[in-house]
Structures are given as C-alpha cells and as structure tokens.
Amino acid sequence: MQSPGALEISRRDLLVASAATVTVASTASLSHFQTSTAAASQSTKISFTVNGERRELQLDNRTTLLDALREHLHLTGTKKGCDHGQCGACTVLADGRRVNACLTLAVMHEGEDITTIEGLGQPGSLHPMQAAFVEHDGFQCGYCTPGQICSSVAMLEEIKANIPSHVTGDLLAPAEVTPAEIRERMSGNICRCGAYSNIVEAITEIAGRKA
C-alpha cells in the first residue's frame, strides 16, 4: 500500500554509506598520528586554526577537541553537557561541518579549520543566526545555545548541499527547508529548557532570508 518501508531502507543505506566515508577519513588521519608519535610520550603537538587564528597546543592524546577548546584555549562558549555525544551542546564546525567536539580527540584535527560560537559573532556584531535566536527567544538558560546555533548554521548548509535526512520525502528532488526538516536535523541538539518552538522559528527566519 505504501512505500515508506522501502524508502526507509534506502535512507538507512545512504546514512550508513555516508557514515562509512567519514569513518575512513578519520581513521586515515588517526593512523597518521599514531605512526608519527608511536614511540613518543602520551602527548602530541597539534596545530589547527580556531576562529581564523592559528593555534598550537601540546596536548595529552586523550584530550577531546571540546576540552582543548575549553580548558586549553579558554574558549568556553562551547559547552560540555554530557561528554558522550548525546546532547549536542558541544557542537562546533570542523572544516565547515558540524561535529560533537566531545566525541572527537583534538589530535584528530591537525591542520583543520575549527569554528566555535565565538567565531560566529560577538555582542555588538552578532551573526544573523545569533541575532535571530535573540529575536525569537530561542533559548532560556543558554547552555545548549552555542551548540544549537553552530548546529543550525551548518545544518542549513547541509540542506543547501542536498544532503537528505530521515524525513526527506523525495530523494531526487532538491532538499527543502521545512519545519519538519529543521526539527529532524536539529534533534541531536537537546534543549531541556524546551525552547524548540522558538528555535525553529529563528532558524526558519534565517533560512528564508538566505533563500
């Protein structure tokens, strides 16, 4: 009677496929580090660009990207909500793609371009998405907010790049910015204060302005 079942499978395959691609890429960069530091101590020198600025750090290999930002660079706008990749409060952009900074080690980001909430805008010169969150009151306690904003900025780029989501109906048509797409794609960012309704309005406004 209906096709959702079949479509489910193809979506899932697609997700698996894209996840596999990511895994291969990360493994490659990881093994590069393992060979270059195999006999060395438990720390690694890493250099990357954070919010446009070149940064060099000598880090314990166990240091997550999140703790590198917060504890070593004192960029505390990126939040630690769970340290398990379950809440999204630590979302940052790595080479333009959103990533849970708690689920990835700093040493895996050698040479990359990291953007945190501090890199999007400042008080007095807010990024449009930051301004839209203020306008629509898309936050309360503010602790998930940097993650929501970073995630939403990258999420709109994913739609623009025609990457499908679980709720995309027609995989052959261009992906659309709908409330359902926004909600699905933002569901990795938990807001316990429950600002979702306002957040979706903020993102929709920015998406409309962009279109």
Partner 1 sequence: MRFDTPAMTNPIDQGKVVGQRIHRIDGPLKTTGRAVYAYEWHDSNGRYVYGYIVGSAIAKGRIRSMDVSAARNAPGVLAVVTSDGIGDLKKGKYNTAKLFGGTEIQHYHQAIAVVVAETFEEARAAAALVKVDYAEEKGAFDLEAAKDTAVKPEEGEPDSAAGDFDAAFETAAVKFDQTYTTPDQSHAMMEPHASIAAWNGDELTVWTSSQMIDWWRTDLATTLGIDKEKVHIMSPFIGGGFGCKLFLRADAVLAALAAREAKRPVKVALPRPFLMNNTTHRPATIQRIRIGAERDGRITAIAHESWSGDLPGGGPEVAVQQTRLLYAGANRMTATRLATLDLPEGNAMRAPGEAPGMMALEIAIDEMAERLGRDPVDFRIINDTQVDPEKPERPFSHRNLVGCLRTGAERFGWQDRSKQPGGRREGNWLVGMGVASAFRNNLLVPSGARVRLDREGIVTVETDMTDIGTGSYTIIAQTAAEMLGVPVDKVAVSLGDSRFPVSSGSGGQFGGNCSTAGVYAACVKLREAVAQKLGFNSPDELTFSGGEVRAGDRRMPLAQAASDEALVAEDRIEFGDLDKTHQQSTFGAHFVEVGVDVATGETRIRRMLAVCGAGRILNPITARSQVIGAMTMGVGGALSEELVVDTERGFFVNHDLAAYEVPVHADIPHQEVIFLDESDPMSSPMKAKGIAELGLCGVAAAVANAIYNATGVRVRKYPITLDKLINGLPEVS
Among positions 26, 140, 158, 178, the unique one binding partner 1 when judged by CB under 8 A: 140
Tell me which residue of 171, 168, 132, 137 sits closest to 152, measured CA to CA.
132
Q: For the purposes of burial, counting CB atoms within 10 Å of the CB of 161, is it exposed (0-12), middle (13-18) or buried (19 or more)?
A: exposed
The rounded distance, in Å, linking the Cα atoms of 28 and 177 is 34
Write out the H or E segment, with its range, that includes residue 92.
Answer: strand 91-94
> For residue 162, is it left (φ>0), alpha (ψ between -120 and 50) or beta?
left
Binding to partner 1 by CB under 8 A, coded x per residue (else -) over 102-131, reads --------------xxx-xxxxx-x---xx
75: contact with partner 1 by CB under 8 A: yes
183: contact with partner 1 by CB under 8 A: yes
87: contact with partner 1 by CB under 8 A: yes
Per the listing, tokens 């998406």 go with 207
Identify which of residues 48 and 191 has a Cβ nearer to partner 1 in the complex: 191
Among positions 3, 35, 74, 209, the unique one binding partner 1 when judged by CB under 8 A: 74
C-alpha distance from residue 22 to each of 16, 75, 152, 172, 199 (Å): 10, 26, 20, 23, 28
Shortest CB 149 distance to partner 1, Å: 6
199: contact with partner 1 by CB under 8 A: yes
44: contact with partner 1 by CB under 8 A: no
65: contact with partner 1 by CB under 8 A: no
CA 94 to chain centre: 8
Among positions 82, 113, 128, 178, the unique one binding partner 1 when judged by CB under 8 A: 82
**Which residue ranges make up the site for partner 1 (CB under 8 A)?**
2, 60, 62-63, 67, 70-71, 74-84, 86-87, 89, 116-118, 120-124, 126, 130-131, 133-135, 137, 139-146, 149, 179, 182-184, 186-201
